Amino acid sequence: MKIGGTQIRLWHDKIFMASALGRYTATIPEQSDLVEWSQLLTRKIGKIEVIEFTFWSPPDPATGIESLNWFVYAIEDGRAELKFHKPVQKRVKTTAGHWRNDQMIGHDLFFRGSKFMAKYGHESQEL
């Protein structure tokens, strides 16, 4: 995918970027072969180019609970900087093989005045 003048590729636990300014690699935390990707979005919020993605973590060995993790990376000067990372939902597989999900925590990105913000639940945080 391409954001502005930056070519971006996601591969397992890495974000690869190439632009006129050079090449850059960022590591995506908490990756393994057991991760189940859920969503990948690119968008521009104000003047900031953003990559958002969510994936389900591997099940906790003791409880079987999986977490849907939300990651927000800002693309600036040909680099991806992790701005925010929180779990937004939990789920567990029942004995019948169906998923039981908790309610998803509301989450979004926005500008308040000139500040880049993340909304997570009832709280907002400057990024």
pLDDT value for 34 = 66
pLDDT value for 3 = 63
Number of independent structural domains in the chain: 1
Domain assignment present for residue 117? The answer is no
Domain assignment present for residue 108? The answer is no
Q: Is 121 left (phi over 0), alpha (psi -120 to 50) or beta?
A: left
pLDDT value for 33 = 63
Domain assignment present for residue 94? The answer is no
Domain assignment present for residue 116? The answer is no
Q: What is the pLDDT along the chain (127 residues), one digit of tens a residue?
A: 666 666 777 766 667 767 666 666 766 666 656 667 788 788 888 888 888 888 888 888 999 999 999 989 887 776 778 899 999 999 999 989 899 999 999 999 998 888 899 999 999 999 8
- Burial of 22: CB neighbours in 10 Å, binned 0-12, 13-18, 19+: exposed
pLDDT value for 12 = 65
pLDDT value for 49 = 83
Domain assignment present for residue 127? The answer is no
Domain assignment present for residue 60? The answer is yes
Domain assignment present for residue 107? The answer is no
Domain assignment present for residue 126? The answer is no
Torsion 18-19-20-26 (CA) sign: negative
State the residue range of the domain holding 30: 2-89
